[in-house]
Chains A and B, each alone.
Chain A
Amino acid sequence: MKQLIYLFAMAFLFTACNVTDKVKDKYLKEDEIRTEDILAEITGEKKNEPIKDTTVNPISKKELKRLAKEQKRREKELAGDTLNFFEKNFPKKIRRDSIYSKVYKELPRSIFVVYPWNRSKNQYGDKLFLTALTKELSIKGYYLFPVTSLDEHAKMDTLFNSHWLTAAKTPLIYKEYGADIALFITIFSINKEYWSTQTEIVADYTMISTHTHDTLFHRQATFSYRSPFPLKDKSEDSFWESSKEMQIYEAIEQMQHYVFLDFPYGPYHKEYLKDKKKFSHSNYMNYKISIIPD
C-alpha cells in the first residue's frame, strides 16, 4: 500500500512539474543532433547549420496603431481619396460669384422654361414640373413666361419640348420670346408607391444663355421626399384629383426649391446682386437629397 502511494506521488510530481516534457526536450534534441551527424558522415553532405535566433524587439501598441494608420492613409491615397475628415465634412465655402460668374456678367432678367421632356411613367409629370418651376423661379425674382400659353403651344406642336428643342436653338428662343435664359429639363422618373409616403424624383436641369450659348447652370438631382404623416386629405373645394397627386406635387415643389437654392436672385428680388458672397454648390453637380419633414 505504501509503495502504491509513493508511486502515485511520483507520477503526480512528474506530471505537475512537467518533468516528462523537459526530459523529452533534452534527450530527443540530443538524439536528433546525433542522428544528423551520423547521416552527414554516411552521405558526406554538410550538416545544416542551425539558424541562430535574431533579437526581436516587440512593437509597442502605439507603434502598431501608427503603422496601421499609415497603411490606411496609403490605401486612401491610392484610391484617390485625399481629403481629410474636416475637408470632407466641412467643405470650403464656395461663393456664388465664382460659380455663377457668367450669370452675374450677363444679368439675365427672364427665364424661358422649355417644355420639360417627360421620360417618367407619370403622365402629368411635365405639367407638374412646369407649374412648380414657374412658381419657384418667380419667387427668385425672374420673369417667367405664362404656363397656359406655353402648354397650349406644346399641345399643338409636339416638337416643342426639351427633347427636340436643343441648345442650338436658343437664339430662336431669344428672337421669338425675348428670353435671356432657356431652361431645359428632362424628367427621368417620378416614383410614388401607394403604400408609402416616400416620393422619388430624378431630373436633369440645364440653363443655357440665349445670347452667348454658355451653360449657366447644370444639375442632375435625385430627390427623395417623405410626406408628413398622417397624409393631408384634399378638401372639397380643392382641384387636386387625389391626395397622391398632391403629395407628388409637394415633392416636386420641394425639389425645385432645393435645386435652385443657390441660384442668384433675379432683378425683381430685393437681394438682387447682393448675394454674390453667399454660399453656392458647384455649377455642375449630381446630388441626392432626402428630406423627411417633421
Chain B
Amino acid sequence: MRKFIILSVICFAFCSCNKALYLHYNYDELIYTYVKGGWSDKDNKKIVKQYKKIVDVPKGKDIIPPPGSCADYGFMLFKQGDTVKAKEYFQKEILLYPESRSYMNKLLNDLDL
C-alpha cells in the first residue's frame, strides 16, 4: 500500500510539471550563426542538418515546431537549391500558423515558388 502511495505521488509530481510550449533545441545558436554568415559549405550543411531536428522532431506541449521555424528551414533549403522541399515547408508554416499566410504568400511570390 505504502509503495502504491509513493508511486502515485511521484506520478502526480511528474504530471503536474509544466511542459514548455515548444522545444527549441539549439535554435538560437543555429539561427544566429546562419544570419551572421561567414560559414563554409560544410558548416551550412551541418546547420541545416541540425535545424531539421527542430522542424521534424518537435517536442513540447502541442508537439509542433516553434513559430517561424518551418519558414526558416524552408528558406535554408531554398538557399541550398532545394526549391520543392522549401515550398513544402513554407506551406507547412501556413498550415501550422495561419497568421503567417500573407507573409508566406509574399515570400513564395518573391522567390518564384
Chain A residues close to B by CB (< 8 Å)? 109-110, 124, 127-128, 130-132, 134-135, 138-139, 141-149, 151-152, 176-180, 238-240, 249, 253, 268-270
Contacts and interface: CB of A to CB of B under 8 A. Distances in A.
Given A138-B22, A139-B21, A131 B35 contact: yes
Nearest to A234: B29
Contacts of B47: 239
Contact of A138 (B67, B93, B101, B107): B67
A147 B21 contact: no
A127 B102 contact: no
The 8 closest A-B pairs by CB, nearest first: A178-B102, A146-B71, A239-B33, A146-B68, A110-B99, A143-B99, A151-B35, A148-B75
A130 B99 CA distance: 19
B32 A178 contact: no
A151 B43 CA distance: 19
A146 B22 contact: no
Max chain B Cβ within 10 angstroms of own Cβ: one of A130, A141, A147, A179: A147
B24 interface: yes
A145 B102 contact: no
B28 A239 contact: no
Interface string B92-107: 0100010111110011
Contacts of A240: 29, 33
Contacts of B99: 109-110, 143, 178-180
Nearest to B105: A178
A177 B103 contact: yes
B35 A132 contact: no
Interface string B8-27: 00000000000011101001
A25 B41 CA distance: 107
A240 B101 CA distance: 33
A128 B68 contact: no
Nearest to B20: A139
Interface in B55-112: 61-62, 66-69, 71-72, 75-76, 93, 97, 99-103, 106-107
Contacts of A147: 31, 35, 68, 72
A134 B103 contact: no
A131 B72 CA distance: 12
B75 A149 contact: yes
B96 to A, nearest CB: 9
Contacts of A151: 35
Nearest to B64: A268
27 contacts: A127-B32, A138-B21, A138-B22, A138-B67, A139-B20, A139-B22, A143-B97, A145-B68, A146-B69, A147-B35, A148-B34, A149-B71, A149-B72, A176-B102, A176-B103, A177-B102, A177-B106, A178-B100, A179-B99, A179-B103, A180-B99, A239-B33, A239-B43, A239-B47, A240-B29, A249-B28, A270-B61
